[in-house]
Amino acid sequence: MTGAGQPAERDHEIHSRRPLRWVRHNGSHTRIGEYLPALPQLVTGEWRGLRDFPLYFHYLNLMPETPEHELVTDIYLPLKS
């Protein structure tokens, strides 16, 4: 996730007008799986948890054009409202 283990978090709505929260992962795509178990803990406040819907990964850059340690991926979490 972003620097020093602190995720960048934002709340968003997309086409369906259903709420989403995103977290940003910096670094290798192979390490994303290490953070997946912690993602539900990021859903706090007025949200009641995650919807039964797949996560969405937005790869902002890709290899080989970008060095592995500079890769950036936004992970969108579908929220219950």
Rounded to two decimals, what is the model's pTM?
0.70
* Residue percentage of the chain with pLDDT more than 90: 31
Token representation of residue 16? 């369906």
pLDDT tens-digit readout, 43-67? 666 667 788 888 889 999 999 999 9
pLDDT-based confidence at residue 28 (cuts at 50, 70, 90): very high
Lowest-confidence segment of 9-18, 19-28, 43-52 by average pLDDT: 9-18
Name which of 34, 11, 22, 7 is nearest 59 in CA terms: 22
pLDDT-based confidence at residue 6 (cuts at 50, 70, 90): very low
